[in-house]
């Protein structure tokens, strides 16, 4: 029974008011995968680090394979594998050298080492890349190498901290296949934290954490089953953009969660038989409301909905501008070289005013480079790009005045208050006097920052930082808003909120260009470009892209399925 990880009333604090874990108890057995899910700051990484003996608990206990991570740490570390976030690889060492280092450290030598290397190379598909530096591998390859390094000694228990963040869907699927094999054939136990709720469905048990407490534990199917009768697919009338429906539904009483799925709005009701179809806001726009099969994500969002502040995103009832009007961004055969390496290999697309346009793809696909060229942050090697009617190669500066930009990392001043940050960015964009004051007041109200206006930016919780960053980028009322991976490293709950805000901005008439590596977020976009290896993999509306991928085998593919199918087709075409 005490074979895997057993935690009892585990507590860990990083100082007053910084409790990471507040009495966590659960057991994760061997021969099974146990998932850890929860919003940012739930305590997932802390829990894994306590199990690995990287941190010591302040109270309660955790035992791994029956061992105490304090007193028996050396024995423990001989028997477990651990992969930290960002994989913990030496990027200036080759694949072989990384493996060899971890083999030496784990005492795997001689014939056994050769056998292990061969087995791991075959399992991960890294065999052809032995001499390549880890830093030059794709995100998916790095992730597999990180896993291989953790598996060198054939651990009895494996701890994985968000192993798939930012990795392409194909690699994500392959990683899970490897982990499944390890569990099925070798009987090892796995404790894995993840920000992808669909991955939770692949676990035997799921531990839902929030703010250092266990909310629930159980098999994902049980979570889903409890939601039966409360999840609905709402189909909009023809001509009604689904995201307008989403905005209208969000924040309605009795509705816990609203998301987009395959062109329909998915709504989770607070209680059985909640009459979602009768909501007055929907009357004109809805064609059909049908009960649908619940999944773990629905249960997770519903479980957390009551625990955080409800998001009220004010969306204009009637769009001020309709999509499909003038062209806001025009790109033709855009290219970017870094020395011999061609990061962007000729992409073309256009974005219309008032549209949400997504640039999608795994890390390293070239979407960030494309994005930076459009914002004028990096030079264009070849091709044409027009933003807000101005040629970026000639009038970059003037184009930039008409756009707002929100960087991937929090790029405001941590030591300034919310108000001071907004004042600074407003002034930097040329606002002054009464106009600046009005805009700041409007922003504070719109983004729910009024109560926190005097707080220092660094002390804001993650979701609020994100709001402040977006408020700063919108202060000068740009024609086009560029968002670079706004949801990367953001938990599922905050991601939902953020997309509602993006939706509201677009409904108010601002064009939005957004990058993301979460494929399912494509559903929130009007149109998108999916990139892979610097080139276009697909372009169009979510419905069009799903249609391209549709086959007898996959009658109703999600965007992520579509990515996998299209990527596979492309590989076959090359072969």
Partner 1 sequence: MSGQAAGSLRRTSGFLRKELLQILRDPSSIALALVMPVVLILLFGYGVSLDAEHIPVAVVLDDRGSASQDLLARLEGSPYFEPRRVSTVTDADALMARHEVQGVVRIGPDFESRLAATGTAPVQLVLNGVDSNRARLVEGYFDGIVGTWAAARIARGEAAAAPLVTVSPRTWFNADGRSTNFLVPGLVALVMTLTGALLTALVVAREWERGTMEAILVTPLRAAEFLIAKIVPYYLLGMGGMTLCVVLGLLLFDVPLRGSFASLLGVGSLFMLASLGMGLAISSTVRTQFVAAQASILAGFLPAFFLSGLLFDLDSTPLPIRLISHVVPARYFVGASHTLFLAGDLWSVIWPDVLALAAMATLLIGVARRRTGIRIEG
Total residues in contact with partner 1, by rule CB under 8 A: 36
Distance of CA 488 to the CA centre of its chain: 5
Query: Applying CB under 8 A, which of residues 33, 36, 67, 89 lies at the interface with partner 1?
Result: 89
What does the angle CA 382 – CA 380 – CA 327 come to, to the nearest 5 degrees?
90
Residue 367 φ then ψ, to 5° = -70, -40
Closest separation in Å from C-beta 191 to partner 1:
13
Query: Applying CB under 8 A, which of residues 33, 36, 55, 529 lies at the interface with partner 1?
Result: 55
Closest separation in Å from C-beta 87 to partner 1:
7
Is residue 458 close enough to count as binding partner 1 by CB under 8 A? no
Closest separation in Å from C-beta 77 to partner 1:
5
Query: Applying CB under 8 A, which of residues 31, 88, 251, 319 lies at the interface with partner 1?
Result: 88
- Binding flags for partner 1, 107-146, as an x/- string (CB under 8 A): x-x------------------------------------x
| Stretch of residues binding partner 1 (CB under 8 A), selected from 91-99, 200-208, 421-429, 478-486 | 91-99
Burial 501-515 (b: 16+ CB within 10 A, else e): bbbbbbbbbbbbbbb
Residue 453 φ then ψ, to 5° = -60, -30
Burial grade of 292 (CB within 10 A; 0-12, 13-18, 19 or more): middle
Nearer to partner 1, 162 or 298 (CB): 162
Q: How many angstroms separate the CA atoms of 114 and 112, rounded?
A: 5
Nearer to partner 1, 100 or 222 (CB): 100
- Binding flags for partner 1, 381-410, as an x/- string (CB under 8 A): ------------------------------
Is residue 282 close enough to count as binding partner 1 by CB under 8 A? no
Nearer to partner 1, 61 or 235 (CB): 61
Q: Do 47 and 36 touch, CB atoms closer than 8 A?
A: yes
- Owner of token pair 């965007």: 559
Nearer to partner 1, 106 or 558 (CB): 106
| Stretch of residues binding partner 1 (CB under 8 A), selected from 105-113, 369-377, 498-506, 561-569 | 105-113
Q: How many angstroms separate the CA atoms of 391 and 334, rounded?
A: 13
| Stretch of residues binding partner 1 (CB under 8 A), selected from 90-98, 186-194, 269-277, 366-374 | 90-98
Query: Applying CB under 8 A, which of residues 40, 72, 90, 132 lies at the interface with partner 1?
Result: 90
| Stretch of residues binding partner 1 (CB under 8 A), selected from 104-112, 267-275, 414-422, 437-445 | 104-112
SS3 state at 297: helix
Nearer to partner 1, 4 or 53 (CB): 53
Query: Applying CB under 8 A, which of residues 54, 178, 233, 305 lies at the interface with partner 1?
Result: 54
Is residue 100 close enough to count as binding partner 1 by CB under 8 A? yes
DSSP string, 467-515: HHHHHHHHTT--SEEEESSTTTT--HHHHHHHHHHHHHHHHTT-EEEEE
Report the 3 state secondary structure along 374-437: HCCCCCCCEEEEEECCEECCCCHHHHHHCEEEECCCCCCCCCCEHHHHHHHHHHHCCCCHHHHH
- Binding flags for partner 1, 147-186, as an x/- string (CB under 8 A): --xx------------------------------------
Is residue 96 close enough to count as binding partner 1 by CB under 8 A? no
Query: Applying CB under 8 A, which of residues 18, 59, 66, 104 lies at the interface with partner 1?
Result: 104
DSSP string, 47-74: HHHHHTTSS--SEEEEEETTB-TTTTHH
Residue 408 φ then ψ, to 5° = -65, -45
How would you classify the pairing of strands 19-28 and 5-13? antiparallel
Is residue 92 close enough to count as binding partner 1 by CB under 8 A? yes
Residue 8 φ then ψ, to 5° = -130, 120
Q: How many angstroms separate the CA atoms of 490 and 409, rounded?
A: 11
Range list of H helices, 512-552: 542-549
Show contacts with partner 1 in window 57-86 (CB under 8 A). 73-74, 77-78, 80, 82-86
Query: Applying CB under 8 A, which of residues 58, 72, 97, 213 lies at the interface with partner 1?
Result: 97
Closest separation in Å from C-beta 122 to partner 1:
23
Query: Applying CB under 8 A, which of residues 2, 18, 56, 547 lies at the interface with partner 1?
Result: 56
Residue 422 φ then ψ, to 5° = -65, -40
Q: Do 534 and 277 touch, CB atoms closer than 8 A?
A: no
What does the angle CA 485 – CA 140 – CA 259 come to, to the nearest 5 degrees?
40
**Helix H or strand E encompassing 140:** helix 139-151
Query: Applying CB under 8 A, which of residues 91, 118, 278, 544 lies at the interface with partner 1?
Result: 91
**Helix H or strand E encompassing 529:** strand 527-532
Closest separation in Å from C-beta 59 to partner 1:
15
Nearer to partner 1, 381 or 488 (CB): 488
Nearer to partner 1, 90 or 424 (CB): 90
Give the interface with partner 1 as residue ranges (CB under 8 A): 49, 52-56, 73-74, 77-78, 80, 82-93, 97, 100-107, 109, 146, 149-150
């Amino acid at each position: 029974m005490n074979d895997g990880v057993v935690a009892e009333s585990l507590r860990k604090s990083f100082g007053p008011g910084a409790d990471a874990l507040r009495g966590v108890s659960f057991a994760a057995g061997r021969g099974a995968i146990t998932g850890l899910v929860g919003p940012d700051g739930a305590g997932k990484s802390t829990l894994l680090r306590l199990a690995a003996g990287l941190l010591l608990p302040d109270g309660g206990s955790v035992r791994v394979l029956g061992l105490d991570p304090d007193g028996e740490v050396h024995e423990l570390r001989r028997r477990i594998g651990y992969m930290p976030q960002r994989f913990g690889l030496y990027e200036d060492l080759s694949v072989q050298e990384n493996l060899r280092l971890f083999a030496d450290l784990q005492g795997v030598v001689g014939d056994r080492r050769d056998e292990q290397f061969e087995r791991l190379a075959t399992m991960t598909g890294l065999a052809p890349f032995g001499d390549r530096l880890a830093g030059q591998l794709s995100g998916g390859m790095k992730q597999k190498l990180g896993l291989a390094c953790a598996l060198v000694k054939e651990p009895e228990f494996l701890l994985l901290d968000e192993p798939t963040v930012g990795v392409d869907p194909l690699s994500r699927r392959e990683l899970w296949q490897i982990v499944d094999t390890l569990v099925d054939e070798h009987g090892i136990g796995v404790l894995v934290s993840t920000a992808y709720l669909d991955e939770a469905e692949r676990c035997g048990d799921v531990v839902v954490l929030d703010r250092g407490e266990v909310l629930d534990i159980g098999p994902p199917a049980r979570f889903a089953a409890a939601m039966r009768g409360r999840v609905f697919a709402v189909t909009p009338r023809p001509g009604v953009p689904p995201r307008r429906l989403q905005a209208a539904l969000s924040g309605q009483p009795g509705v816990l969660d609203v998301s987009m799925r395959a062109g329909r709005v998915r709504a989770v009701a607070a209680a059985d038989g909640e009459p979602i179809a009768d909501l007055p806001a929907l009357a004109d726009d809805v064609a059909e409301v049908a009960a649908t099969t619940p999944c773990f994500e629905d249960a997770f969002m519903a479980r957390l909905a009551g625990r955080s502040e409800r998001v009220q995103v004010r969306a204009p009832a009637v769009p001020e501008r309709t999509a499909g009007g003038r062209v806001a961004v025009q790109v033709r055969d855009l290219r970017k070289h870094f020395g011999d390496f061609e990061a962007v290999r000729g992409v073309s697309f256009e974005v219309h005013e008032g549209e949400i346009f997504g640039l999608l793809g795994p890390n390293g696909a070239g979407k960030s480079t494309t994005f930076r060229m459009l914002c004028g942050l990096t030079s264009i090697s070849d091709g044409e790009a027009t933003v807000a009617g101005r040629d970026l190669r000639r009038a970059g500066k003037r184009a930039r005045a008409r756009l707002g930009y929100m960087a991937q990392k929090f790029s405001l001043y941590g030591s300034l208050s919310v108000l001071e940050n907004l004042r600074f960015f407003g002034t930097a964009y040329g606002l002054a006097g009464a106009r600046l004051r009005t805009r700041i007041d409007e922003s504070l109200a719109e983004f729910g920052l009024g109560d926190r206006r005097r707080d220092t930016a660094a002390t804001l919780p993650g979701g609020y930082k994100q709001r402040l960053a977006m408020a700063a980028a919108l202060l000068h009322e740009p024609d086009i808003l560029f968002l670079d991976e706004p949801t990367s490293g953001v938990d599922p709950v905050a991601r939902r909120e953020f997309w509602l805000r993006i939706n509201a901005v677009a409904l108010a008439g601002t064009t939005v260009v957004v990058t993301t590596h979460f494929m399912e977020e494509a559903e929130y976009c009007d149109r998108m470009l999916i990139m892979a290896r610097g080139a276009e993999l697909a372009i169009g509306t979510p419905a069009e892209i799903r249609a391209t991928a549709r086959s007898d085998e996959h009658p109703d593919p999600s965007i992520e399925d579509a990515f996998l199918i299209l990527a596979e087709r492309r590989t076959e075409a090359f072969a």
